Amino acid sequence: MSQLLSLLTTAALLGTAVSAVAQPTATAPAKYIRTPTGYLLVLRPGDNVLRELEELTVKEKIPGASLTGLGFGHPTFGFWNAQTKTYAPQAFRDMEMASLTGSIAWKDGKPALHLHGVAAGQDFAAHGGHLLALEVGTGSVEITVTLHDQRLTRETDAQTGANVLTLPR
């Protein structure tokens, strides 16, 4: 410690910047904690919400779950077109996620998220639908993940082309 003070004093006397000296850095806050019923995530600006949920699912070996959330972000909603079996996307910026709900399951060995949400802008006009993407904006996004004890899977429904939740037999 005395060497660091001596170096800083010398640098100050010489009018030299001491950028090479290691500065203490704040550790990044935890992204999630375990709760009695699952997990609580608090994601920060720039975080990709869907990727964070997929990483949590793999890391914690989540068999299946339901989730709810809220916060601030840049959502992309999609509306399912039954004829083309695709989503028509619409992106929004700087929205308040008034509601976020969904489920976590598995398809082809990978996490399969199904999320819907409602978001409003400064004009209080609400938009919503199937959530295709969500980046955390100002503030945070808080998500409560409630675990299910059985593995949930998704299968492509032959008639609709949609990935449908399949319950364990």
Residue 152, domain CATH: 3.30.1330.80
Structural domain harbouring 45: 27-166
pLDDT of residue 162: 87
Residue 130 placed within a domain: yes
Does the pLDDT at position 7 exceed 70?
no
Residue 79 placed within a domain: yes
pLDDT of residue 85: 87
The DSSP element (H or E) to which 114 belongs, if any, is strand 110-120
Separation CA 21–CA 2 (nearest Å)? 14
CA dihedral 8, 14, 20, 22 (to 10 degrees): 10
Task: Give the model confidence (pLDDT) of 138-168 as tens digits.
Answer: 999 999 999 999 999 999 988 888 889 998 8
Does the pLDDT at position 10 exceed 60?
no
Does the pLDDT at position 12 exceed 80?
no
Does the pLDDT at position 3 exceed 70?
no
pLDDT of residue 164: 94
Residue 51 placed within a domain: yes
pLDDT of residue 14: 40
Task: Give the model confidence (pLDDT) of 92-143 as tens digits.
Answer: 999 999 999 999 999 999 999 999 999 999 999 999 999 999 999 999 999 9
pLDDT band at residue 27, thresholds of 50, 70 and 90?
Answer: confident
Residue 46 placed within a domain: yes
Residue 1 placed within a domain: no
Q: Provide the 8-state DSSP code for 48.
A: B
Task: Give the model confidence (pLDDT) of 83-94 as tens digits.
Answer: 898 999 999 999
Residue 72 placed within a domain: yes
Structural domain count of the chain:
1
Which residues on neighbouring strands pair with residue 71, listed in sequence order? 97, 141
What is the 3-state composition of the chain as percent helix, strand, coil, each rounded to the nearest 5?
15, 50, 35
Place of tokens 């090479």: 20
Residue 16 placed within a domain: no
Residue 32 placed within a domain: yes
Question: How long a stretch of residues is the chain?
Answer: 169
Q: Angle 43-44-45 (CA atoms, 0-180°, nearest 5)?
A: 135
For 26, the 3-state DSSP assignment is coil
